[in-house]
Structure 1
Amino acid sequence: MTDTFDFIVIGAGSAGCVIASRLSERTGLKVLVLEAGGSDRNFWVRMPIGYGKAFHHPGLNWKYMTEPDAGTTGEACYWPRGKVIGGSSSINAMVYIRGQAADFDNWAALGNPGWGFADVLPAYRRMEDNLAGVDQWRGGGGPLTITSIEDVAHPLCANYLAGAAEVGLPRNGDFNGGTQEGVGLYQITTRAGFRCSAATAYLNPARRRANLEIRSHAHATRILFEGGRAVGVEYRRGGKLHRAMAGREVILSAGAVNSPQLLMLSGVGPARSLKPLGIDVVRDAPMVGRNLQDHVGFDHVYRSSKPSLNDVLRPWWGRLAVGLRYLLNRDGPLSMSLNQGGGFVRSAPGRTRPNLQLYFSPLSYTRALPGRRALMSPDAFAGFQMGISNCHPTSRGEIGLKTADPFAAPKIVPNYLSTEADMAEMLEGARLLRRIAATAPMREIIASELKPGPAVQSDGELAADIRARTSTVFHPCGTCGMGADPVTSVVDARLRVHGIEGLRVADAAIFPVIPSGNLNAPSMMVGEKAAEMILADMAGV
């Protein structure tokens, strides 16, 4: 089967949904979306707390594993990635964070005009329907609903906020406003008690358009080229091999793992790695798969002297009560993320801007592997946890191919905590968590520290605990980095693959440097910017 479209979007994830929706607003353009996963009409996708189930669901998730990583005591790390309409926005924890203004100004300073904060702010405002209100920073009436939890957060969050204030951390009512710095409660991407993913916000409302076709369970196996131009996509669906041709462009939005993987499978990547696998090299692009960045973090876990969400979600009668409440009213604990409190802070006075993200969750689920236990089955005792992740990691990893088989998982080498700067920062974070825990408001609710435990005190002991318990917070990016130099980057500032015509990458893979905080919002912003650029280039603007 071969058919022709103006644009083919590979991947219906956080950016791909946005691009397909915006391009298909032009009735004269024919747009095809190819998604390897299936429908997002799944209970564990739609119910916000269901991400605990989607985390390991084989029908919703690529379920990747990294290579054993020396920085985290030789352990392989589990990487959930959305394999479903909506991509990872359909299985994430829904926290809405844009990043710091300095992050994007840095992108522009690295040779990417049009990506400074003043340039990306209109795209952010355009995509938002911020229920907390509209101002010079925040948008209203956009496709993506953003909900405040100020009135429904668990009471233990108040102790966390008071404890943070006692150690001198300022309160911030909106991490996406004039400044990101401070502590507060997270906003989440939900609408009327349901998850508001990129699919909910953008793709599903566009389905009625006659010029948009969405093919799920369509696994792209390679991009097709004629000379130096991308002209189509080969994909497998229903046990058969198909081809779709692109009259204008192919847009690769498969994410930080799958975008570089598909480029390499198609012959765009480091020739020294592709030739031994028998892959014909279309373009020797050494940085495809390189520059992998990710936020990593760890939790300090406490037994609580006051009731936590464990008391509600652990016993069967508690789960029954909150389940009925959710079914009847679409509210309560099941309508929220469990990352309720948090913030962005400086780990030490000499830091020039916030370098750590804080998390406060009013429940605990001690675990052998991150997320192994379902979020609705927390510990049998009252507990909670505080955690940190690094906003600006300096460690760099890479994505590679193990084989030329497009259905095989790629090789993921994270290189976590491989720089002294990253370890020093994490150690400062551990000390900060201890200072917050020692405040009077936190002593009111802490019965005991379970992890790392009171015996762990010295820098050496804390560093060993950090390496043993640090893991990804699921923010991989940078593997098709944006820049002016084709030797040190993969795409230019208009997201065009260097040296290839008719091919762009538009997702978290293009981030030259990782933004501060959760990556779903920046990925969707890239979708907005990409669509804007594509339409402008098509019009010759």
Structure 2
Amino acid sequence: MPADSDTYDFIVTGAGSAGCAVAGRLAESRLYRVLLLEAGPPDKNPWIHIPLGYAKTYVDPAVNWMFETEPQPQMKNRRLYLPRGKTLGGSSSINGMLYVRGHHADYDEWRQRGCTGWDWDSVLPYFKKAENQARGADAFHGTGGPLHVSDQTEKGELSKAVLEACVQAGIPPNPDFNGARQEGCGYYQTTTNNKRRWSAAKAYLSNPPPNLTIQTNAHATRVVIENGRATGVEYQTAGGRRVSRASREVIVSGGAYGSPQLLLLSGLGPAQHLQDMDIEVIRDMPAVGSNLHDHFNTTASWRCSKAITLNDLQNSTLRKMLAGVRYGLFRSGPMASNGITAGVFTRSDPRLERPDIQINLFEWSTKERSRDAVIPHDFPGFTMSPVHLRPEGRGTVRLGSPDPFAWPAVLFDYLRTDYDIQAALFGIRLVRKIAAQPALQPYVVNELSPGSELTTDDDLLDFIRRTGVSNQHPTSSCAMGNGPNTVVDPRLKVHGIAGLRVADASIMPVVVGGNTNAPTIMIGEKAAAMILEDTRAGAPSLAA
């Protein structure tokens, strides 16, 4: 270990949704010195904290990695935009703030795949421990936790009309997607407090204890592994290269792209790939960066007959000024909302046991949405976004270069199987059915996309291939379980390497059926509890 190293009990790489929870919980006992490394800056950008501000951070390289995929073969060789948080809080500081846990049976499936201790009954206490539920505590929800979960008050007439149309289309109402059942239509709750974003950084790092060192603008470049054990982390700062020592454990929490990238840079991964990158093979682990999957997102949009959408806000300087004043003085108005107030969980086939389709209502429509800009139509519009929750395709995360500052090479496997195709087609046809219901007819002028002229499966599939995107819920690239197709065991320990764990969405054996932020925070909570339990049980320290 180089002489310039500092020593901590635990080092956590990545201050995202899970990393904040891990570091915060490890440090709160005051028994251990914890170093939390974050490649991005502090979360001081004002747009982070305003609910509607994520439209700004979506294309802001100061707080967003702004990755792109490799050309996607089933998507007409398009490169898909992958926004990911690059600041304290990670993607919880730039996402849409929806609080969704997934289906209970998702976690029971994890247990069935050999992930002991990750069934629904076992993970529910960690969801509740993290949560400060505005509605109060019950069998499914907790209060007193660091993560504020709130109802949205700025709902508006459009979301009400959409939900009425959903019921008319045969979808039952559901007052709580995170309660006894998931299926149905209803309003989303968000990770907000007093009309402000409540990221994982706000939840776990607002008042750090003195034994927690938070180092921003510190890009982890390699886990130091000596004699089969992780002993520290190499990272780059404005002052140059540093190495810090971990006397107990290194916890990698870089997300579904960053965590496999760091393991690969550290010599853990498919041996041939590492050799191709001129990286010394520490351990041949084919599963590192494999099994990547994500929810697949399509959209359909309509011109609205009333000037009640966010298009009308964005296209009017006066409206924007008034909205800013209203939010600044009263924490109300359009800037107090995320613009995604209502949604649906349903099944593309009634024979399925769990919902496999999620529909989000966006109170805007766009003529361009890319890594360069988000440009609304110059007239009122709204969008319904069918999301396929259970894709069969599996992709990869590999190194695009041995340079640790280069983008990872991300390849999805969307729309390869007939089921994935049929689910995407079902989603488009379902939102069209919803838009045709009496409750929405007063608001619909015409369909903007796909366009009413597209009616056949072939036409719609071509539209989906041209316009479909990642839903920004990547998981499973360091999958948990036992055997050659996994990276970590159910205690989140990396197979064959002592003192090293991974704790973030990358460890999910299968993606949950819903937004991934709340489950990722749960993973951080449970990881910290397991680490502390193992430490107290007498796991040796390098300093001992």
* Residue of structure 1 equivalent to 2:524: 527
Residue 196 of structure 1: CA displacement?
0.2
Is 526-535 or 39-48 further displaced after alignment? 39-48
Show the 5 A alignment for 1:353-502. 353-367=354-368, 369-370=369-370, 372-374=372-374, 378-485=376-483, 487-502=484-499
* Residue of structure 1 equivalent to 2:515: 518
2:496 is aligned with what amino acid?
G
Confirm or deny: 8 A CA contact 1:24 1:31 kept in the other structure.
yes
* Residue of structure 1 equivalent to 2:503: 506
Q: How high is the TM-score relative to the length of structure 1?
A: 0.97
* Residue of structure 1 equivalent to 2:95: 92
1:510 is aligned with what amino acid?
I
* Aligned equivalent of 2:46, options 43, 47, 59: 43
* Residue of structure 1 equivalent to 2:273: 273
- Partners of 1:222 and 1:432 lie apart in 2 by 47
- Partners of 2:117 and 2:157 lie apart in 1 by 43
2:320 is aligned with what amino acid?
R
Equivalent position SS for 2:108:
helix
Q: Say if 2:1 is the partner of 1:3.
A: no
Cα RMSD after superposing both structures: 1.2
- Partners of 1:370 and 1:155 lie apart in 2 by 28
Confirm or deny: 8 A CA contact 1:308 1:363 kept in the other structure.
no
Confirm or deny: 8 A CA contact 2:154 2:337 kept in the other structure.
no
Confirm or deny: 8 A CA contact 2:103 2:354 kept in the other structure.
no
* Aligned equivalent of 1:177, options 179, 194, 210: 179
2:33 is aligned with what amino acid?
K
* Residue of structure 1 equivalent to 2:71: 68
Show the 5 A alignment for 1:125-136. 125-136=128-139
Confirm or deny: 8 A CA contact 1:355 1:392 kept in the other structure.
yes
Q: How high is the TM-score relative to the length of structure 2?
A: 0.96
- Partners of 2:400 and 2:461 lie apart in 1 by 32
Show the 5 A alignment for 1:46-445. 46-149=49-152, 151-205=153-207, 207=208, 209-309=209-309, 310-367=311-368, 369-370=369-370, 372-374=372-374, 378-445=376-443
User: How many pairs align?
Assistant: 534
Is 415-424 or 347-356 further displaced after alignment? 347-356
- Partners of 2:516 and 2:350 lie apart in 1 by 26
Confirm or deny: 8 A CA contact 1:308 1:384 kept in the other structure.
no
- Aligned sequence identity (%): 44
* Runs of 4+ displaced beyond 6 Å: none
Q: Say if 2:532 is the partner of 1:540.
A: no
Is 28-37 or 349-358 further displaced after alignment? 349-358
Confirm or deny: 8 A CA contact 2:154 2:336 kept in the other structure.
no
Residue 371 of structure 1: CA displacement?
6.4
2:345 is aligned with what amino acid?
F
Quickly say closer, same or farther: Cα 1:307–1:141, change in 2 above 3 A. same
Confirm or deny: 8 A CA contact 1:490 1:497 kept in the other structure.
yes
Residue 304 of structure 1: CA displacement?
0.8
Residue 343 of structure 1: CA displacement?
1.6
Mind listing any 5+ residue stretches in structure 1 that lack a counterpart?
none
Residue 372 of structure 1: CA displacement?
4.8
Residue 17 of structure 1: CA displacement?
0.3
Mind listing any 5+ residue stretches in structure 2 that lack a counterpart?
539-544
